[in-house]
């Protein structure tokens, strides 16, 4: 009887042990499955996140593509503007050369006019006289009264070959009054300082 009980206890013991083992294994398996599930869910979440990121990137790429297109257009526009400016520059450069040529022509014309004016001025001063242009000659009544060069009094020196207006610094040493026409007839020329 004791022997039977003992065997029964051992059997129960083995059974209990097996039950425990099985239960343990089941728990372990369930735990592993849960872990796997969790991991799978985690992965799924990560995939979802990545998908969302991909979508976001795709959405971002739209504007980026637009920006790229815009930049390409701007670049093209800038190139066109540059080409246009280059053309303008070339045109202006050519035009500038033309203007410079015109300027030279005008300058030559001005020179020509100046020469004509000087000739006219000389002719006019020869015919009408220059007594009014000499301030120092105003002191002599005779010169003020007469406006023609033929009767104007100028002054020569003993040694010089120039005739001077009264008050010229070259007349300090000698001052000989002479009619302008006579002075010219004798070969005297106008002083470069006082103008004669
Ligand atoms: Zn003089």
Listed by start position, the domains of the chain span: 1-128, 129-196
Q: Which residue has the higher pLDDT, 9 or 28?
A: 9
Ligand 1 centre to CA of 175 (Å) is 10
- Report percent pLDDT > 90 for the chain: 22
Tell me the mean pLDDT in the region 53-74. Answer: 79
Task: Give the model's confidence band at 146: pLDDT under 50 very low, under 70 low, under 90 confident, else very high.
Answer: very low
Ligand 1 centre to CA of 151 (Å) is 18
Ligand 1 centre to CA of 196 (Å) is 6
The confidence score (pLDDT) of residue 132 equals: 46
Ligand 1 centre to CA of 119 (Å) is 23
Q: What do you get for the CA distance between the two ends of the chain, in Å?
A: 176
The confidence score (pLDDT) of residue 131 equals: 46
Tell me the mean pLDDT in the region 104-120. Answer: 80
Q: What are phi and psi of 67, to 5 degrees?
A: -60, -40
Shortest CA distance to 140 belongs to which of 153, 149, 125, 155? Answer: 153
For CA atoms 102, 104, 107, 108, the dihedral sign is: negative
Ligand 1 centre to CA of 167 (Å) is 8
């Amino acid at each position: 009887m004791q022997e039977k009980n003992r065997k029964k206890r051992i059997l129960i013991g083995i059974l209990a042990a097996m039950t425990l083992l099985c239960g343990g294994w089941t728990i372990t398996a369930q735990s592993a499955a849960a872990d796997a599930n969790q991991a799978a869910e985690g992965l799924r979440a990560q995939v979802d996140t990545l998908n969302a990121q991909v979508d976001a990137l795709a959405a971002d790429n739209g504007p980026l593509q637009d920006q790229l297109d815009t930049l390409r257009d701007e670049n093209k526009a800038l190139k066109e503007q540059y080409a246009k400016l280059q053309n303008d520059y070339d045109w202006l450069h050519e035009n500038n050369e033309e203007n410079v040529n015109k300027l030279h022509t005008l300058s030559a014309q001005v020179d020509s006019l100046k020469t004509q004016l000087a000739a006219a001025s000389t002719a006019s001063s020869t015919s009408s006289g220059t007594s009014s242009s000499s301030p120092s000659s105003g002191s002599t009544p005779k010169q003020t009264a007469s406006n023609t060069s033929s009767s104007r009094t100028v002054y020569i020196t003993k040694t010089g070959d120039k005739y001077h207006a009264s008050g010229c610094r070259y007349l300090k040493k000698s001052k000989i009054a002479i009619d302008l026409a006579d002075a010219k007839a004798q070969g005297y020329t106008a002083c470069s300082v006082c103008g004669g």
